[in-house]
Copies of this chain bind each other. A is one copy, B any other.
Amino acid sequence: MARPTRRGRAARIKARTDAPILYKPTLNRNVGPVNLLSEEGIEKIHAAVLHIVENIGVEFRDASALEDWRKAGARVDGERVRIGRDLFMALIGYIPDGYKFHARNPERSVDVGGANSIFANCYGAPFVYDLDGIRRPSQLADSQNFLRLAQMSPAMHVAGVLPVEPQDIPVPERHLDLVSSALTLSDKPIMGSVTSEIAARDTLDMLRIVFGEEHLEQNVVVTALLNCNSPLVWDETMLQSLRVYAAANQPALLTPFLLAGASGPASPLGGVAQLLAEALAGMAYAQMIRRGCPMVLGVALMGVSMKTGAPMLGTAEPGLMNLLVGQMARFYGVPWRSCTMWSGSKMADLQAGYDSANAMWPVLLGGCNYIMHSAGFLEGSLGVSYAKWVQDSHQLEGFYRFFEGIRSEDLEPLLGDIAEVGPGGHFLGTDHTRENPFVVNTLQNNDSYEQWLEDGAKSAELVGAEEARRMLAAYAPPPLPEETAAALNEFTQSRRQLYRA
């Protein structure tokens, strides 16, 4: 077989540089979902969920939410809310089974729910591993870079809003920079700020500038990420943001942060029952704010090492729990969200590769609709590596292809090829081979050892960093009407002055 030549490689790199980006639409899965539970198993978990919301209860640490629950007929003792099963199931029943998630460029809009999956950017890391692999606190320039990379990555459907935490910007102003960056550096769907009620309101105001008031009123143009303090606590900050988004008919990923063995039981069935109760209680509350507002059942799931107390990522039991959550989300008829491509490693190394892939497979097999942190995480989720971000984003295209499944093919011409090639021949020159190239990951090195040595004996980490540099140098912002850009700018300027006053 022909070995690659230097000229071949140079040509490949040039092709990569010059080729237009072929954006992937929403992934419509044709493999899975894998269901582990029998009807009886589903009923058992459902009964546990009802037991938790009805008898144990969930804390809503927010006066307004408690008042809402009281009015709706739930039993409220202090901050503990116990929700009768009829009320609970009635509220859950209002949640749509999916939604169209609008981008400011309609060609980048995606679908959430059902057999659809979308990949979303990483979120919230306080540290970056920079282009030289050096770890340092994240800055706004990094957040913006990861938004640029998301814009350029064919299978990264959602640009996000807070890929990393910009520690050089004062907290009250961060959302202004982040939301305006997301809206200008990318034309893909974005996420919303949840730092505070004000941040949520400002996010919606900026979205109104870009999408128009009416479009926002009628469509989903943002999705927020809200964490439950497991076990069983929804805090005031999260609930305030939830009310803002729900009132505007914009969804949130309501996400218990379940460290199995610490913030929940070290039991696949018990842990899942708890997180479902937590997430669904939040989703139910949102229906009291605005009936029929889309909401997403969230999961952030890790194991905890009983030997060290450290969270473990990409391991077996949280993988199984993802399959359970997926099946239960289908039972409740709601879309669901999970986390992936993360690792406890402090380098983009072998462990990071295993952990990331081992986190993604169960999430996709479980039929996850909204896949967060699809690129970049190291160090649990405390760091984002440029090199790994870019390598991960290329992995997404492979996952995308696998989960598209098998296309129907006419076997007759292929049998003709097999007959014609005959025993001992080869298929490199057949029309079918030329017309049906398999997915190629341009960052995956399959060269000979000698060729690889000659090209500098580069690790995948170095290859990823080089590609990140290339992409950032090649980045071109998507078009945005000048008056929109000006209005956004005016808005952020005036708010910034207000918050500094």
Contact = CB atoms under 8 A, between A and B. Distances in A.
A259 B127 CA distance: 42
Contacts of A305: 437-438, 440, 446
A232 B311 contact: no
A98 interface: no
Main secondary structure of the interface of A (DSSP, over half): mixed
Contacts of A68: none
Contacts of A353: 349-357
Given A59-B423, A267-B432, A415 B51 contact: yes
B58 A423 contact: yes
A485 interface: no
A105 interface: no
A31 B260 CA distance: 21
Interface string A240-279: 0000000000000000000111111111111001100000
A237 interface: no
B312 A446 contact: yes
A395 interface: yes
A473 interface: no
A236 interface: no
Contact of A414 (B9, B269, B401): B269
Interface centre among A31, A311, A361, A446 (most CB of B within 10 A): A446
A233 interface: yes
Interface in A298-349: 303-320, 323-324, 344-349
Interface in A410-433: 411, 414-415, 417-419, 421-428, 430, 432-433
A316 B422 contact: no
A47 to B, nearest CB: 8
Contact of A266 (B358, B401, B436, B461): B436
A315 B31 contact: no
A167 interface: no
A266 B414 CA distance: 9
Contacts of A434: 306
A50 B310 CA distance: 55
A440 B307 contact: yes
A64 interface: no
Given A353-B352, A445-B345, A433 B261 contact: yes
Interface centre among A231, A399, A463 (most CB of B within 10 A): A231
A424 B233 contact: yes
A229 B441 contact: no
A134 interface: no
A309 B438 contact: no
A381 B135 CA distance: 34
A433 B357 contact: no
A270 B433 CA distance: 11
8 contacts: A2-B309, A12-B307, A266-B437, A270-B432, A311-B446, A312-B444, A351-B353, A383-B449
Given A315-B401, A316-B401, A354-B357, 7 more contacts: A45-B411, A59-B423, A231-B423, A267-B432, A306-B433, A306-B437, A320-B405
3 closest residue pairs by CB, A with B:
A353-B353, A270-B414, A344-B446
